[in-house]
């Protein structure tokens, strides 16, 4: 299920300041990707716990066959199909990506794993475009 025409690698878009965790009683030396760190769940699990919201500078106009997102500061439009609009509509900053994917999968009768992958891909693309932002939360 393709949600938008832009595909970005989630690993390429993660900022260093977004992850500050070292397993207790362990010393990590060398360069690791997030997936290789000992004691850390996969990046997919980590990303599915993120919380997103629409940026304040964004306005959305809905139509029968999709939506247009106006990026006010950039004077740019981004088109969303109905499924992408449904996903964006669930972004309230309270629900994690995983919860959003569960709600969308159930509402549309789609397999959860596929929807989660699509949601992460969409949010990565929309974050890069400035439509949504990931909230910074303390990791426990």
Given 3-state DSSP classes, what are the helix, strand and coil percentages for the chain, each rounded to the nearest 5? 40, 20, 45
Helices (H), 3-57: 10-13, 43-48
Task: Supply 69's token pair.
Answer: 């997102």
Helix axes 82-89, 112-129, angle to 10 degrees: 80
Q: What's residue 140's pLDDT?
A: 44
Q: What's residue 66's pLDDT?
A: 92
Helices (H), the chain: 10-13, 43-48, 82-89, 97-108, 112-129
| C-alpha–C-alpha distance, residues 119 and 18, integer Å | 19
Strands 132-134 and 76-80: unpaired
Task: Report yes or no on whether pTM surpasses 0.85.
Answer: no
Residue 109 backbone class (left: φ over 0; alpha: ψ -120 to 50; beta: rest): left
Which helix (DSSP H) or strand (DSSP E) does residue 42 occupy? none
DSSP assignment, residue 16?
A: G
Q: What's residue 88's pLDDT?
A: 96
Q: What's residue 16's pLDDT?
A: 36
Phi, psi (rounded to 5 degrees) for 104: -70, -45
Q: What's residue 87's pLDDT?
A: 96
- What is the fold of 52-135? Arc Repressor Mutant, subunit A (1.10.10)
Residues of the chain with CATH 1.10.10.1150: 52-135
* pLDDT tens over the chain, length 140 residues: 334 333 222 333 333 333 322 232 333 333 333 344 344 344 556 788 999 999 999 999 999 899 999 999 999 999 999 999 999 999 999 999 999 999 999 999 999 999 999 999 999 999 999 999 999 875 44
């Amino acid at each position: 299920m393709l949600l938008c025409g832009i595909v970005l690698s989630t690993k390429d878009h993660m900022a260093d300041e977004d992850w500050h965790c070292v397993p207790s009683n362990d010393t990590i030396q060398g360069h690791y990707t997030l997936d290789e760190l000992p004691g850390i769940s996969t990046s997919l699990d980590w990303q599915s716990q993120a919380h997103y919201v629409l940026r304040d500078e964004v306005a959305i106009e809905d139509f029968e066959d999709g939506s247009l997102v106006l990026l006010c500061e950039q004077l740019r439009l981004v088109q969303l199909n109905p499924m992408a609009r449904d996903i964006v509509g669930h972004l309230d900053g309270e629900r994690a990506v995983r919860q959003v994917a569960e709600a969308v999968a159930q509402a549309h009768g789609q397999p959860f794993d596929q929807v989660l992958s699509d949601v992460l891909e969409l949010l990565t693309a929309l974050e890069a475009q400035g439509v949504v932002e990931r909230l910074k939360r303390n990791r426990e």
